[in-house]
Amino acid sequence: MILLPERLGPGEKPAYMPGHRIEYPIAQFRFENGLWKVYWKDSKEKWHSIDDIEPDTNFEAQLKAVDENGIFWV
């Protein structure tokens, strides 16, 4: 399993922890049955697979799919 976080440095929003670096888990990659699958985390801290990104043998292809998919980034 590989976790992809979003990192916010001091001065970036949210401002409820000024001066501190904050990391939010954005995506999780799991290697299952020879394929990389991408998961997202809900507000109850549970991970769910993403139907819009098909499992793939190539991890870099999955990372690129997360980068290009509008689900994760605003």
Please indicate, yes or no, if residue 60 is contained in any of the structural domains.
yes
10 in a domain, yes or no?
yes
> Is the residue at 73 inside a domain?
no
Domain count, the chain: 1
Q: Which SS3 state, helix, strand or coil, does residue 42 take?
A: coil
| Each residue's pLDDT tens digit, 37-73 | 999 988 898 999 999 899 999 999 999 998 887 777 6
Whole-structure pTM value: 0.75
- The domain of 8 spans 2-68
Q: Considering the domain boundaries, does residue 18 fall inside one? A: yes
One-letter amino acid at 63 equals L
Report how far residue 7's alpha carbon sits from residue 5's, in angstroms, rounded to the nearest whole number: 6
Those residues whose C-beta lies under 8 Å from the C-beta of residue 65, and which sit 6 or more positions away, are 38, 53, 56
* pLDDT digits 0-9 by tens, 13-43: 655 555 666 677 889 999 999 999 999 988 8
